[in-house]
Structure 1
Amino acid sequence: MGSGGSVPEEDLTPPGTRGPRHGRHPGDRPRARHRSSTAAERARSALRRLARARARQRRRWAVAVVTAPACLAALLAYVNWGSTPAPEEPPVAGSVPAGVGRPSAPPGAQPSAGPASPGLRPRQRPPSPSPTPTTSPPAPPPVLTLTRNDVPAEVDLTAVGTRDWVHWGLLGDGSTVRKRDGSGEIRDDGGSGRRGSWDGNQETFRWRDGAPVESTDGTPHGVFTCGAGRGFALAAAGSGQPRTLHVYAGTWMARGRLDARLSSGGPTRTLRMEDPHTSRSAEFVVRFQAPEGARLVVTWTAEHAFTDDCAGVSLQAAALR
């Protein structure tokens, strides 16, 4: 090299021992300040991320609180919709309803529980038939009629009293002859006044199945009482079936009154018969229908006596059929 030029000296100072540049003091530490600001930024960034995460979590909780009841209601509505049969669509004009003409069971059979029953949705089941209540037949209404007929010259008690018959006075004041093996449904309930036997009836009575007297060709006997207010009382058992009671009775110079009623209640039927001068007889026919356990009650009483000479009423026989 020439001596006129200068050669720059090589900086041989080690990199860590070089002096300050650009007016910096040896005590300045720019690298430390950079590191400190970077850490603060990282901390603030971490805090911001944590705050955003917490905000997102709070929003999720709020959304869950709001949407949970709505989801539960939607679930219940779906369950109810699934268990409720859908309304049937109105039939199209001219179309044939499903199942018509195709019975799923023979006549009289119980309806099937499967879907083959016509007109039913799959979720429906045919209703169970209601049990038919067992009711006893109603009791027949009570029947009671009363008529009066003339007495035939001869009365056959065996023919008239197919169920039972009774005759009074053949063997004395208190004697009776009854139908042998009869039902015993005619009952003598007595009455008022002393009874007497007599044989002055205009009609006669015969029978072929009596006891204690088995038969007779015809007898005019009967019993009587004297005085107003005196008479006889009879009864016949009811069975719920129609029955007819024939009562053969008379008067002697008196007015007699026959009353018929049912012990189970109801009206009373009444007929009167009188003759102020002599005797008179009649056949009283009582048709009745009384429940089992009830009775027909008949009374034959002297309502008025036209003389003091033992005027009163008489009784000859009664027959039930």
Structure 2
Amino acid sequence: MAEEKPAQSVGPASHRTRAGRRRAESARPSPPTAPPSAEGETRAAARRLARARRRRRTTVEAVAALAGLLALVGYVNWWSEPVPDDQPDPDGLPAVVGRPALPSATADADAMPGLRPRERSPSPSPSAVVVPTPAPPAAPPTLTLGRADIPATVDLTEAGRRDWLHWGLGGTTSPVRKRDGSASLRDLGGQGDRDSWDGNQELFRWRDGAPVNSAGDVADGVYTCGAGNGFRLAVVADGQPRTATVYLGVWMARGRLDIRVGDDGPRRTLRLEERHTSLSSGVTVRFEAPQGTRVLLTWTVEETFTPHCGNVGLQAVALR
């Protein structure tokens, strides 16, 4: 038979080992802890201290805000208080009454009561001052003369686009004139008796006349005899450069044409002479003068070379 070994008992020994470990751990010193009552008192004291600090801070801020408000109200009252020496504004209110409140720090801040801007009636917009531009000084009148032979036929409708006159066909004192013309040409009469004749070498025609509407190849004209006798005409200026052509002649005489612009304007003189027969000419008068100024033309017998009616003659005048 085999030898029997005694059985090992492990339960009690293990139990003892664990029990000993617990005893050793429990024997170690535990960290000190405050008693429960002392910890609660410490937290309560901290809260009381925090509340006291908040109350002090709130009190200080309130006092500072009140002091600032009082200073602002005092400043505004001092600013808006009327001063006896202040003069009233043009609208009748004292100069310091109703001054506007100081601007708020924020856009949505409440307005301070009693500080309203002064209300005024809207002032009219200042009207623009229009300074009239001075008119440029008027140019001095000008006057020049020219002379040329008369064409065999003169078309007064073309030559006198602004105005024209023709003598002889309508009688000695009633010339035919341009219909609807400018009426710038005037017959002022003259010294001596007028007569008409129809033997002029130059012929005239027109298509816009009155009282004779149209005519062709008219040889008529008027004349006056004797030294010192003649014709007086006028052209009314309109401020623009104009040209008037006078169709005139002499028969056994010397004629003198005097032209002047207004009373104090330039003057010109032209003579036409024929001792033995007749002579005709077209005298061109170029001028510029202020509107309404009269350019005066005087066509006179200066000397005769026959006892039988030495004369000056006039056929037409055209203006353009």
Asked if these proteins are the same fold (TM beyond 0.5), I'd say yes
1:240 is aligned to 239
Letter in 1 for 2:188: D
| Partner Cα distance (1:301, 1:167) in 2 | 18
Structure 1 residue 172: Cα displacement: 2.6
Q: Secondary structure at the match of 1:173?
A: strand
* Equivalent residue, structure 1, for 2:259: 260
* Alignment check: 8 A CA contact 2:141 2:266 kept: no
Moved more, 170-179 or 194-203: 170-179
Letter of the aligned partner of 1:190 in structure 2? G
Say how many residue pairs are matched.
Answer: 192
Shift of residue 176 of structure 1?
A: 1.1
Match of 1:21? none
- Corresponding residue of 1:229: 228
- Matched residue SS, 1:158: helix
Contact 2:142 2:266 in 1 (8 A): no
Q: Secondary structure at the match of 1:159?
A: helix
Residue in structure 2 matched with residue 188 of structure 1 by the alignment: 187
Structure 2 residue aligned with 1:53: none
* Distance (whole Å) between structure 1 residues aligned to residue 278 and residue 259 of structure 2: 23
Residue pair 1:140, 1:240 contacting (<8 A) in 2 also: no
Superposed, which structure 2 residues align to 1:100-115 within 5 Å? none
- Counterparts in 2 of 1:146 and 1:132: CA distance versus 1, 3 Å: same
Aligned-pair Cα RMSD in Å: 1.5
Please state how far the C-alpha of 1:264 moved relative to its aligned partner: 4.4
CA distance in 2, matches of 1:181, 1:170: 19
Per the TM alignment, residue 134 of structure 1 is displaced from its structure 2 partner at its CA by: 2.2
Give the C-alpha shift of residue 239 in structure 1: 1.1
C-alpha displacement at 1:297, in angstroms? 0.4
1:292 Cα deviation (Å)? Answer: 1.1
Q: Give the deviation of 1:157 after TM superposition.
A: 0.3
Match of 2:167, as an amino acid?
A: W
Q: Please tell me whether the aligned partners of residues 264 and 294 of structure 1 are also in contact (alpha carbons under 8 angstroms).
A: no
SS of the counterpart of 2:224?
strand
For the residues of structure 1 that align with 2:311 and 2:266, how far apart are their CA atoms?
A: 26
Counterpart mapping for 1:1-321 below 5 A? 134-321=133-320
Tell me if structure 2 keeps the 8 A contact 1:146–1:260.
no
Contact 1:264 1:290 in 2 (8 A): no
Provide the C-alpha distance between the structure 2 equivalents of 1:264 and 1:133, rounded to a whole number of angstroms.
Answer: 30
Q: Deviations over 1:126-173 (max 9, x none)?
A: xxxx99772112212211011111100000000010110000011332
SS of 1:148's partner is strand
SS at match of 1:190: coil
For 2:300, what is the secondary structure of its paired residue? strand
Does the 8 Å CA contact 1:167/1:176 hold for their aligned counterparts? yes
- TM-score in terms of structure 1 length: 0.58
Q: Deviations over 1:75-114 (max 9, x none)?
A: xxxxxxxxxxxxxxxxxxxxxxxxxxxxxxxxxxxxxxxx
Letter in 1 for 2:276: H
**Secondary structure in structure 2 of the residue aligned to 1:287:** strand
Q: Distance in 1 between matches of 2:269 and 2:201?
A: 24
SS in 2 for 1:191: coil
Q: Which runs of 4+ in 1 moved over 2 A?
A: 130-134, 171-175
Letter in 2 for 1:282: S
Distance in 1 (CA, whole Å) between partners of 2:166 and 2:222 is 10
Distance 1:131 1:180 in 2: 44
3-state SS of paired residue (1:317): strand
Report the 3-state secondary structure (helix = DSSP H, G, I; strand = E; otherwise coil) of the residue aligned with 2:170.
Answer: coil
Residues 1:237 and 1:131: Cα distance change in structure 2 (over 3 Å):
closer
Identity %: 61
Distance 2:133 2:171 in 1: 55
Deviations 1:41-72 (A, max 9, x none): xxxxxxxxxxxxxxxxxxxxxxxxxxxxxxxx
Describe the SS at the equivalent of 1:175. Answer: strand
User: Is the deviation greater in 252-261 or in 167-176?
Assistant: 167-176
Name the CA distance, whole Å, in 2 between partners of 1:133 and 1:166. 42
1: CA distance, partners of 2:247 / 2:257: 11
1:211-243 Cα deviation digits (max 9, x unpaired): 111111111100000101110000010111111
3-state SS of the aligned residue for 1:228? coil
How far apart, in 2, do the equivalents of 1:132 and 1:171 lie? Answer: 55
Moved more, 264-273 or 143-152: 264-273
Q: Which runs of 5+ in 2 are unaligned?
A: 1-128
**How far apart in 2 are the matches of 1:279 and 1:268?**
27
